[in-house]
Structure formats: C-alpha cells, structure tokens
Amino acid sequence: MIQERTVTPEQGRQPKRSWKAPLVLALVAAAAAGVHLSGATHYFQQERLQALIASYGLLAPAIYILIYALAPVLFLPGLPITVVGGILFGPVWGVVYAITGATLGASLAFLVARYGARDWVAAKLTGAKWHRLDDEVAQHGWKVVAFTRLIPVFPFNLLNYAFGLTKVPFAHYVAASFVCMLPACIAFIVFSSSLVGLIKGTVSPTALLGIGLVVLVSLIPAAYRRFKGHRAAGAAAE
C-alpha cells in the first residue's frame, strides 16, 4: 500500500484544492450570461461546428489527437483541449479521442524523460518530494501512478516527466495512467459536449449529467483527505 506521508503535501501546509471544476463552471456561467445579455445566441450553433469537423473526415480526429498528444510534452494545459473535444466530437467520440491523446501525451513525456532528455528533466525535478516520489515508485510501482492521477498532488505535465525518471515499467505506467485519467476525461467531455447548449440557455439531461460528473470528480481529493483524517484519528485512538 502507498505510504501516504510521502505522496501528500508537506506537513503544516494545506493540500491544494482542485481548481478545475469551479473554474470551468464559473466560466460557463459567465459566458452564458454574456451571450444572453448580448443577444448573440445565434452565433453558437454546435451542429455547424460538428459539420465543419466532419468535412475533414478522418483528419479531424487525427489532428485533435496529435494536438492533445503534444500538449503534455510542451507543458500546455490539457483542460481547454478536452473541452474542445467534447464540443466538436460529442460525449462518446470526444472521450475516445481525448483519452487517446492524453495517454499518448503522457507516454511521450515519459519516454522523453527516460530516453531523450534525462539529465535536463532531472535538473528540473529538484526537491525532497520528487525524491520521495521516486522512492515510492520503487516500492509500489504502478499504484503510485494510479494514486497521483486520481489525487492531484503534483503538476500533471511535470509528473509525466518525473515518472520517466523512476523505475516503473512503461507498460504499467501507460495502463495506470489510462485507467485513472479516464474518470476526469469522461466528466469534462460529457459536460463540454453540452457546453454550447448551456451557453445558449438550454439545460439538457447531458448537461446535468456532465455537471454532476465534474463535481463528483472534483470531490475525490476531498474524500481522500476525509478518509485519511478518519483513519489517522482511528489509529490515534487505539
């Protein structure tokens, strides 16, 4: 089992809260309000966007996946690309293309760190918590990959490179990353697939499902901290 003291923030500091879900929901609310006040709802036609993408045929998904795959390597944020995927490809194919691109990107960064730019990456990853991450991976392997994908303790893009410096097998890293990135990917894709409708003031069942999934995913770190607190309290009482 992963030793919690080594993968949680340093003692005496409050864990960082996930900002993604509140930020996305706040931006949607602001955009919806702005569109309604300006009377520009006729500019937001998801059918037109999807028809434009469809006109590119197989190139459209390939280009999207390629962009997503390069984003982690270049330290670009993945959330905006995820949102675009939901808008353009819908809740099903959006998930397929986004998780494919995200997994490829995480894998490319891993391989760059392991075989291409090991010294450069090692120079960037200084500090006790990165050394502890290396020790944890040596003991627990893919379980640390899974844990850090679900609980955002480290910066995501830098984490991809960090794992390339550890001894975790590449296949284990890819599998754990894929499975544990999937919940957040599904949540944000389902939500963003109804984003155009929300901006126009239409609240569909898909939109409600997406909002619920985003909130649920954002509560995972809080649920973990609560569980850890109860567990620590129980151990102290024994």
pLDDT in tens, 86-118: 888 989 999 999 999 999 999 999 999 888 877
Percent of residues, the chain, with pLDDT higher than 90? 20
In a domain, 1, yes or no: no
Q: Is the pTM of this model over 0.85?
A: no
In a domain, 121, yes or no: yes
pLDDT grade for 49, boundaries at 50, 70 and 90: low
Torsion sign across C-alpha atoms 106, 109, 193, 220: positive
Torsion sign across C-alpha atoms 102, 103, 107, 108: negative
Rg of the chain over all Cα atoms, to the nearest angstrom: 20
In a domain, 4, yes or no: no
Element (H, E) at 214: helix 205-218
Average pLDDT taken over every residue of the chain: 76
Residue with tokens 């993968």: 7
Res 1: pLDDT: 41
Q: Rounded distance, CA 75 to CA 115, Å?
A: 18
In a domain, 168, yes or no: yes
pLDDT grade for 6, boundaries at 50, 70 and 90: very low
Domain count, the chain: 1
Res 189: pLDDT: 93
| Residue burial 19-43, b: 16+ Cβ < 10 Å; e: rest | ebbeebbeebeeebeebeeeeeeee
Query: What mean pLDDT comes out for the span 20-26?
Result: 54
Q: Check residues 177 and 41 and name the one with the higher pLDDT.
A: 177
Range of the domain at 91: 18-34+46-237
Res 44: pLDDT: 45
Q: How many residues are there in the chain?
A: 238
Res 8: pLDDT: 41
In a domain, 215, yes or no: yes
Please, are residues 8 and 153 in contact by the beta-carbon 8 Å criterion? yes
In a domain, 3, yes or no: no
Res. 4: pLDDT tops 60: no
In a domain, 97, yes or no: yes
